[in-house]
Amino acid sequence: MQLGIIGLPQSGKTTLFNALTNANIPTDNLGGHMQVHTAVVDVPDPRVDELCAIYKPKKTVHAKVTYADIAGIDGKAGKAGLPGPLINQMASMDGFLHVVRQFESPVVAHQEGSVDPLRDIESMDTEFILNDLVMIERKLERLTEEHRRGVSRPREEIQKEIDVFKSLQAVLNENLPLRHHKFTPEEDETLASYGFLSRKPQIIVFNQSEGQTPPDYKSPHPDTFVIALPAKLEMDIAALEPEDAIIFMEEYGIAELAMSRLIKLSYDLLGVHSFFTAGEKEVHAWTIKRGTNAREAAGAIHSDMEKGFIRAEVISYQDLMHFGSTAEARNKGRLRVEGKSYIVEDGDIIEIRFNV
């Protein structure tokens, strides 16, 4: 699960990356050159701590999110399109954190000469829409020629593919990102190798100065979340020793770092949740797509478990917390035996029975 941090130059992308990952990457402007830094972050989840308090495991594994700080977008590619290496890097992401500058600075000038967050959001949307439109138009040209020749595949099959790309073209021609299109399973199969940028879910991050009020903005696009935070302040707190960070937060009345909320929001953005395996050896949070069944969830642990799946023994997180132990939950009849088609719920504690 990988999210790309994007935005115009001097928007604070690297500052946000440092705050999220506790890295120390220089925040100098890279002048439009593509450069990528990546780091893996634990997803904050108090349920993991509660499970550890019960089982006292030798090892604890949180769910993970990978962030990639992607430099190289300046909002000026237009119809010429983005550079190929940059497109390839962004196409590999599952979604984006779009950092939008709200802070003012007499030292760090905005490339447009003024700070206007809503203008910058529109600029990035337009960049992605144009990029996807160019890709689709080129594909339609090739498909139309293939349909005319009609020698490599049946024309009916080619026409179906043309219809798919024309439906996407129509959305983009309305100046809408592809997040507005409802993709069918058949379309997903056809488009599996196309990493359309405007299709990927986004979190818009208003990067503020401390004390600024966020703009009154709600994205008109689906699969788009919005959050506002002071990335510089949070980066400075993240760089402190844990004891000093606690004192600082208490002094300034900061109950929770916005970075924790952003990481949780990143997790939600991609339509995933966690189930747990828990015992004295290990408490482990596993990431699965919502709607995943028990057999597929077993595969997230190990392919042999999916292959030889027999059943899943399940306790809900709420029941375990109420009864205090697996044994007591079992005695009270709250341990359930589920088959392969059971849809795993967020927070389920599961033991897989399998045979290979």
> The domain spanning residue 348 has which CATH number?
3.10.20.30
In this prediction, residue 343 has a pLDDT band, given cuts at 50, 70 and 90, of very high
pLDDT at 94: 94
Binning pLDDT at 50, 70 and 90, where does residue 99 land? very high
Binned at pLDDT 50, 70 and 90, residue 81 comes out as: low
Query: What is the per-residue pLDDT for 229?
Result: 93
- 307 found inside a domain: yes
pLDDT of residue 72: 72
Q: How confident is the model at residue 253 (pLDDT cuts 50, 70, 90)?
A: confident
**How confident is the model at residue 110, as a pLDDT?**
87
Residue 254 has a pLDDT of 83
- What's the pLDDT score for residue 171? 97
Q: How confident is the model at residue 85 (pLDDT cuts 50, 70, 90)?
A: confident
What confidence category does residue 79 fall into, taking pLDDT thresholds of 50, 70 and 90?
A: low
Whether 301 is in a domain gets the answer: yes
Decide if 275 contacts 350 (C-beta within 8 A).
yes
- Tell how strand 309-315 and strand 349-354 pair up: antiparallel
The burial of 60, by beta-carbon neighbours within 10 Å (0-12 exposed, 13-18 middle, 19 or more buried), is given as middle
Identify whether the C-beta of residue 312 lies closer than 8 Å to the C-beta of residue 352.
yes
- Check residue 255 and give its pLDDT: 82
- Say which residue, 180 or 242, is predicted with more confidence: 180
3-state DSSP helix/strand/coil % of the chain, to nearest 5: 40, 20, 35
Residue 32 has pLDDT above 60, yes or no: no
* Residue 217 domain-assigned (yes or no): no
Those residues whose C-beta lies under 8 Å from the C-beta of residue 1, and which sit 6 or more positions away, are 64, 65, 66, 94, 267, 270, 272, 287
Average confidence (pLDDT) over 144-152: 85
In a domain, 303, yes or no: yes
Average pLDDT over residues 217-243: 91
List, for residues 263-310, the tens digit of each pLDDT value.
889 988 999 999 999 999 999 999 999 999 999 999 999 999 999 999
Across 84-90, average pLDDT: 88
Tell me if 59 sits within 8 A of 285, measured CB to CB: no
Average pLDDT over residues 116-143: 94
pLDDT tens, residue by residue, 301-337: 999 999 999 999 999 999 999 999 989 999 999 999 9
User: In 10 A of CB 281, how many CB atoms?
Assistant: 11
Q: Which amino acid is at 294?
A: A
Would you say residue 162 lies in a domain? no
Q: Taking residues 39-49, what's their average pLDDT?
A: 93
Mean pLDDT (whole number) for 167-177: 96
> How many whole angstroms separate alpha carbon 353 and alpha carbon 302?
12
pLDDT of residue 333: 92
Residue 89 lies in a domain: no
**Per-residue pLDDT, 111:** 86
Overall number of domains in the chain: 1
147 falls within a domain: no
Q: Within a domain: residue 350?
A: yes
Confidence of residue 252 (pLDDT cuts 50, 70, 90): confident
Task: Report the predicted TM-score, pTM, of the whole model to 2 decimal places.
Answer: 0.88
Buried b (16+ CB within 10 A) or exposed e, 263-274: bebbbebbebbb
Band of residue 162 on the pLDDT scale cut at 50, 70, 90: very high
The confidence score (pLDDT) of residue 29 equals 53
* Mean pLDDT of the 187-209 span: 93
SS3 353: strand
Range of the domain at 336: 291-354
Say what the pLDDT of residue 295 is.
97
Once rounded to an integer, what is the mean pLDDT over residues 210-224?
91
User: Which has the higher per-residue pLDDT, 348 or 25?
Assistant: 348
